[in-house]
Structure formats: C-alpha cells, structure tokens
Amino acid sequence: SQQGEEDPQALSIQEGENATMNCSYKTSINNLQWYRQNSGRGLVHLILIRSNEREKHSGRLRVTLDTSKKSSSLLITASRAADTASYFCATEDTGGFKTIFGAGTRLFVKA
Amino acid sequence: SAVISQKPSRDICQRGTSLTIQCQVDSQVTMMFWYRQQPGQSLTLIATANQGSEATYESGFVIDKFPISRPNLTFSTLTVSNMSPEDSSIYLCLGLTNTGELFFGEGSRLTVL
C-alpha cells in the first residue's frame, strides 16, 4: 500500500495567498520529495529534503520535515494561477530504496 | 539533472496483445523503477528493475503480466502482456541517482480497446 498520505486532498485559494500541504508517512526514510503534476502532464520534481534536514527552501517553496512525527509540509508562498496542479509527496524508505507516492493534493489557485 | 528517455509516448492497443515500453537513462542513474499511474490516481510502483537479474515486484504485480528486463545499467523494458482495458494507464520509468534524486521518463500513455 502507498504510505505517503497528503492532506488536504484538495485546496482552493486566491492568487497571492499561501498554500500549505501536509504529508505523513509510516516507515523510516532516507529522504522525502515533493512533486508537481499539471493536468495531463508528467511529474516535475520540486524539492528533496533528506532525513537529517528539518527545513529547505527553493524560491517560493518551503518544505519542513519532522521525522519524529513522520510528517512533512510544503508551503507555497504568494501563490499564482500557474501553481494550479496536483502536488505529491514521495518517500524513499531506508530498506529497499523504493520511492512511494501519496495520493496527492489538488491545488486550485483562483486569479 | 539526469536524462531519461522513454518510448513509445502513447499507444492504442487491442485487447489480448502485448506492448513493450523502453527506457533509456544516462549514467547518473543507479536504480530504475517502473510505475503505473491510472486515471485520476497516484503513482503505484510495479517493480524495481535489477540489472542482469529478475525484477523485484511489488504486491499485486507479477512477472507473467509485467515482464521487465534490464540488460545493462542504462536500459530497461517493461512489457504489458495480454492486455485488457483495465491496463489502460500511464506507465512511467523512473531513475534514482546516487544523490537520491528521482527523475521521470516522459511516460507512456497506453489505451487498451
């Protein structure tokens, strides 16, 4: 079964607002990654955070990782209509180096 | 970033036939995986492609239905055998680099009639 669980499943915000998505997982991980998928297109790698890191920034993206709670959050600041997409977290477990994807959060940014 | 080339990008197939998808990666990739993404769903890991040996399949996936080859470090194939409409999906090849980053092929969109 897929272990990454994102919440919320769907999020609708106004342009300029911040969007926060959360991801929980169950096993020990090497790293956690966030991806974006625009409708009908492939996945785009956004950011990777390793298990010994707590926070990482990339442009308007901020990712946090709490290994004690087995959770991560993705914050998109000053959202734009072009940020409308599905966002997936994926975890690479320490055992078999498999990467498991969650069900995704659908973000809709209204102009 | 790693380069991953996958083909075909899309195909329409008849029930009962088989289709082989090819994935070519560059040397930064150390591990290769095959995923399936059914309409409206997340990615599901089918198997890990092991160089020179049988792939490691996830629960619910078997070699007879999804035979996988990886004759060398940079090339792998996935065959979808005896297809049915339920196999209509996007199939993705993923490569994992030695820095832990995952890169995707463009995906193969399969429609089974």
Low-confidence stretches of chain B (pLDDT beneath 50): none
What value does the mean pLDDT of chain A take? 87
Say if the Cβ atoms of A31 and B44 lie within 8 Å.
Answer: no
Q: What confidence tier does A1 reach under pLDDT thresholds 50, 70, 90?
A: very low
Q: Which residues pair with residue A21 across a beta bridge? A: A74
Say if the Cβ atoms of A30 and B44 lie within 8 Å.
Answer: no
Residue A3 clears pLDDT 70, i.e. is over it: no
Chain A residue numbers with beta carbons less than 8 Å from the beta carbon of B36 are: none
Note whether A55 and A74 are within 8 A (CB): no
Q: Residue B9 carries which DSSP code?
A: S
Taking CA atoms, A100 is separated from A82, A106, B38, in Å, by 26, 18, 15
Q: What percent of chain A has pLDDT over 70?
A: 88
Residue A100 clears pLDDT 80, i.e. is over it: no
Residues 6+ apart with CB under 8 A from B49: B31, B32, B33, B34, B55, B68, B69, B70, B76, B78
Q: Does B31 touch chain A (CB under 8 A)?
A: yes
Say if the Cβ atoms of B100 and A31 lie within 8 Å.
Answer: yes
Of A33, A48, A100, the CB nearest to B45: A100
Chain B residue numbers with beta carbons less than 8 Å from the beta carbon of A52 are: none
Three-class SS of residue B86? helix
Instruction: Please name the residue of chain A whose CA is at the shortest distance from the CA of residue B32.
Output: A98
The confidence score (pLDDT) of residue A8 equals 81
* pLDDT tens-digit series, residues A16-65: 999 999 999 888 888 898 988 876 566 788 998 999 999 999 999 999 99
Residue A4 clears pLDDT 80, i.e. is over it: no
Which of B102, B103, B111 is the mutation pick for testing A, counting most A CBs within 10 A? Answer: B102
Of A42, A45, A96, the CB nearest to B102: A45
Of B43, B48, B103, the CB nearest to A101: B43
For residue A59 the two structure tokens come to 């442009």
Task: Residue A87: name the closest of A72, A106, A60 by CA.
Answer: A106
The confidence score (pLDDT) of residue B1 equals 63
The confidence score (pLDDT) of residue A2 equals 38
